[in-house]
Structure formats: structure tokens, C-alpha cells
Amino acid sequence: MSADLIKATIEALPDTDLKKATCEPISIGGSDRNYHRINLNNDQSLIVMEYTSDRPDNAKFAAATNTLKRLGAATPEILNHDSEKQLIWLEDLGTEHLWDHRDAKWDERSALYKSVIDESRKLHEENEQSLNKEELIQLEPPFDETLYKWEQNYFFDHFLSYYSRRAPSYQNSLREEEEFKLLIETLISPERTLIHRDLQSQNILLKENKPHFIDYQGLRLGLREYDIASLLYDPYVSFTKKQRTELADYAFKGQERSEWEPLFIGCAIQRLMQALGAYSRLGNQLGKTDFLKYIPQALDNLREILSNENILPRLEPYLSDEALEF
């Protein structure tokens, strides 16, 4: 495979010296995309992304990159794209993720997170009216009632059905409760902006201390509160309540709390349900067991919100230690 990728790289980038190039796989997250680092003979490198047609968003990466570049957002440069071979050659931004700073002193860590929030504003300032219609067609479909419902079902189908002690009939009855429909109604009414869709610490690379977005093939219209909630309730890292409040206030500065907080909380619940479903599916069905260790933090985050908010009260008992079996 390495030899094939180097040969394909020679054809794709004929002006690049690849005589002594080596190729190494990069293990990244739960994606079905494969990444490789091509090391050149001059201490430089580039990334090759292999994708499949199994997920429709895989083919949207190039279009999403073009949109983000037009908006001035920091992303890797696309060096070449062979849609027939389903290969994309990318600028190598290095190996330093925001996640690598999860244990840093708060002054340093908060400054990094605020820089990510600042960079995300370049997306969140764009709405359905300001974006090019042709661009929107090439991106993933916007968040709507169907997608929010899919996320909720993903949680039931892959997390609760796997870990709950309650009978399937009780779980199926729960998912049809009015409170889940009310949550969706809350989230589909406001104006949508452009969002990353998976804005978390492992999808942000730091190059010279500047945040760059990666894994943004899910770029679409949605709520910016969803992006900020994904970042601040990220199960890969931990925040104190005070730290999370500081960053949320920074993200929504200039707005009344009553305007953004209900959406932010609703999006956090929605996102955490989706994350729990994803971790369970990846770990229990696809054999990527490393994801299972993030379930406790995601569950604690969701429990914390539900204990303080009058949202999904019927779900809360299903998430107690007594109701779950790990």
C-alpha cells in the first residue's frame, strides 16, 4: 500500500521530489478515511487522505475546504484531488492538536480555546442568505428536524439499547416521549449559520499556535450553539463549571444570556446523545475499543446538564448508575 501511495503521489505531484520518500499510516479517530504521511527527503512532508463512498460526506471534503478558504478560515491546503482514485493530498499541519493541551494551565488553555472560538466566528457569521447557493448544494444537508431525530435515534439504537437494564419496550416508549420532540422544535426554529458539525479538541490542529480546522467534511448550516457546545462539552477533555462558563460567555459576548443559553444547553444535550451513540457503536460494533473510555465523561456531562435543567426529565432516570450496566 505504501508503494502504491508513493507511486500515486508521483503522478499527482510531478514537481515534488519523491526519490527517497517514505510513507507511514496515521491513526485518526473513528473515521472510515485513512490518512498517511509522506515523508520527503528534505525534512518536509505531506498528507494523503484515502476516502470511500460509504459515507456521502467523505466526498464533500474538497468543497468544504473551498468554502472555508473563501471565508478565510484556517484549514490545510489541498495540493491535489483525484476523485476517481478517491485520494486527496494535503498540506501537513503537524501533529499538535488542541487535545494535547488538555492538562495545560488554565491561562494557556483558555487562550487557545478563545483563539478557536475566534476562528469559528468566520463560519458562524455566514448564514443562508450570505452564502453562495452553489456552495450550499455541494455541502452536507442542513440541520433540520430529520437530522436531529436521527441523532436522537442514534443514541437510543447504539448507546441505550446496549447499556440499559430497561426492557426494549420501555426504551422505545421513551424515545417517543413529547420532550424529545420539544427539544427538536427548540433547535429548528432559530436562524442557521455555517457550522463545522464536529468541533472538538481532536479536530483542531495547532500550527505555530494558530488553530486550524480538520475533519470538517460535515460542514453545513446549523446552529453555532451546536459548534460551541461540541467544543465546551467535548468528552475528550474536562472543564470545571467556571471554566466552561468563561468560554461560553466569551463565545456569545454581546448577546443577552437569555438569547443564547437555552439553545446552547439544548445543543449540548443533543450533541452528547449523539456522541454516546457514536462511542458505543465505534467501540462495541466496529472494534475501535479506545472510544469506550470516553463514555463516562460524556455520560457525566449529560447527567450534569439534565440534573440542572428541566429538559428531558423522563430520560434522566434511564442514565442513573442503577439503570445502566457497563
- Type of residue at 95: T
Output the pLDDT for position 168: 95
* Whether residue 64 is found in the same domain as residue 184: no
* Whether residue 87 is found in the same domain as residue 129: no
- φ/ψ of 207, rounded to 5, equals -120, 115
* Whether residue 210 is found in the same domain as residue 115: yes
* Whether residue 39 is found in the same domain as residue 126: no
Q: Is the dihedral of CA 243, 245, 248, 253 positive or negative?
A: negative
Q: What DSSP string describes 126-162? A: -BTTTS-HHHHHHSPPPP-HHHHHHHHHHHIIIIIHH
* Whether residue 133 is found in the same domain as residue 274: yes
Q: What is the mean pLDDT of residues 58-68?
A: 95
Which of 47, 70, 91 lies at the terminal end of a domain, its last residue?
91
Mean pLDDT over all residues of the chain? 95
Which of 52, 73, 91 lies at the terminal end of a domain, its last residue?
91
| Distances, alpha carbon 108 to alpha carbons 115, 166, 238, 247, 311, in Å | 11, 44, 15, 13, 34
Domain residues for 86? 2-91
* Whether residue 209 is found in the same domain as residue 295: yes
Q: What percent of the chain has pLDDT over 90?
A: 88
Cβ proximity of 215 and 198 under 8 Å = yes
Question: Does position 171 have pLDDT exceeding 80, yes or no?
Answer: yes
* Whether residue 135 is found in the same domain as residue 39: no
Looking up residue 28, the CATH number of its domain turns out to be 3.30.200
* Whether residue 221 is found in the same domain as residue 167: yes
Output the pLDDT for position 88: 97
pLDDT tens column, 114-163: 999 999 999 999 999 999 889 999 999 999 999 999 999 999 999 999 99
Residue 70 CB coordination number (10 Å): 13
Q: What is the mean pLDDT of residues 181-189?
A: 95
Torsion of CA 137, 138, 140, 144, to 10 degrees: -10
Confirm whether 325 is domain-assigned. no
pLDDT tens column, 71-127: 999 999 999 999 999 999 999 999 999 999 999 999 999 999 999 999 999 999 999
* Whether residue 168 is found in the same domain as residue 263: yes
* Whether residue 121 is found in the same domain as residue 81: no
Output the pLDDT for position 41: 75
Confirm whether 324 is domain-assigned. no
pLDDT tens column, 225-242: 999 999 999 999 999 999
* Whether residue 192 is found in the same domain as residue 151: yes
Which of 39, 66, 91 lies at the terminal end of a domain, its last residue?
91
Question: Does position 183 have pLDDT exceeding 80, yes or no?
Answer: yes
Confirm whether 136 is domain-assigned. yes
Helix, strand or coil for residue 284?
helix
In the chain, where does DSSP find H-type helix?
2-12, 61-70, 106-124, 133-138, 145-155, 161-163, 168-175, 178-188, 224-232, 241-251, 257-280, 295-308
Q: What is the mean pLDDT of residues 288-294?
A: 96
Looking up residue 287, the CATH number of its domain turns out to be 3.90.1200.10
Output the pLDDT for position 42: 76
* Whether residue 276 is found in the same domain as residue 314: yes
Confirm whether 326 is domain-assigned. no
Output the pLDDT for position 30: 66
Please give the tally of structural domains in the chain: 2
Output the pLDDT for position 1: 62
pLDDT tens column, 20-56: 899 999 876 667 789 999 999 778 999 999 999 888 8
Polymer length in residues for the chain: 326
Output the pLDDT for position 20: 86
Confirm whether 234 is domain-assigned. yes
